[in-house]
């Protein structure tokens, strides 16, 4: 089944990926190949499968490789747009810069996380809860490397950054995939900002932030070790479906 309301996504792909050097010497992190395709293409395919028609790429470092590869989206049966930052603006600044491209509500994704989140169920929950933003959450065994949600049912009341297991409010971590209503952008300050620090805490205090628990696959790729794991697991999955 296709999404009923959301037809657009904004993908963050402007970072330098310094922990993946030298792979990122000539390419931005989202263009590193996983099973013969740029990792960001796996995200595009996932979004398209659920009916997303328009994708905005938030570009920065080595942006030409992304725009040259994806173009206007016609060969993918989609519409692609580009919001480029000359200097790093953070997740919040990049979103604010892209606001003129964005619709009333949209998905926002980190360009280096691959998952099989059920976007249809996430959309259904978002509109049922009537909040301003929904964050996909994944269960992690070690909390010290993630932002961890304090939950009241599905409502996120706080994010605790990188707590040890003893002090963690839960083991549900931010998966880097969001649904955001456009009025949220007005709450983001100009210049460099982070939605994790400059938007979500405000929404949490207002009771407008919810978590969608994802129990399936999730592959962050911000280190060489995590990248190799993603390559191995996705290769296994593709082999099984052939």
Catalytic amino acids?
162
Q: Where are the alpha helices (DSSP H) in 1-109?
A: 39-49, 63-70, 90-97
Give the integer Cα–Cα distance in Å for 69 and 76: 11
Torsions phi, psi of 71, nearest 5?
A: 60, -140
Cα dihedral sign for 163, 223, 9, 241?
negative
Cα–Cα distances in angstroms (integers) from residue 169 to residues 56, 139, 143, 208, in the given order: 34, 12, 10, 19
Antiparallel, parallel or unpaired: β 54-59 and 8-13? parallel
User: Positive or negative, the Cα torsion across 185, 1, 154, 113?
Assistant: negative
Cβ neighbours for 25, distance < 8 A, ≥ 6 positions apart: none
């Amino acid at each position: 089944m296709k999404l009923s309301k959301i037809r657009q996504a904004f993908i963050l792909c402007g970072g330098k990926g310094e922990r993946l050097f030298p792979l990122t010497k000539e390419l931005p992190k989202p263009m590193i190949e996983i099973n013969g395709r740029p990792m960001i293409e796996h995200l595009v395919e996932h979004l398209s499968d659920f009916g997303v028609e328009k994708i905005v790429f938030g570009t920065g470092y080595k942006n030409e490789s992304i725009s040259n590869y994806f173009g206007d989206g016609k060969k993918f049966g989609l519409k692609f747009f580009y919001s480029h930052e000359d200097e790093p603006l953070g997740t919040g600044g990049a979103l604010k810069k892209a606001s003129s491209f964005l619709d009333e509500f949209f998905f926002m994704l980190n360009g280096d996380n691959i998952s099989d989140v059920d976007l249809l169920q996430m959309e259904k929950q978002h509109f049922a809860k009537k909040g301003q933003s929904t964050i996909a959450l994944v269960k992690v065994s070690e909390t010290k490397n993630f932002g961890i949600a304090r939950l009241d049912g599905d409502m996120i009341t706080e994010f605790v950054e990188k707590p040890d297991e003893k002090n963690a409010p839960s083991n549900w971590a931010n998966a880097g995939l969001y649904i955001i209503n456009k009025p949220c952008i007005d709450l983001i300050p100009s210049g460099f900002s982070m939605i994790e620090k400059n938007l979500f805490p405000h929404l949490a205090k207002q009771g407008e932030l919810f978590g969608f628990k994802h129990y399936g696959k999730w592959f962050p790729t911000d280190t060489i070790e995590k990248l190799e794991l993603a390559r191995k697991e996705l290769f296994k999955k593709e082999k099984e479906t052939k």
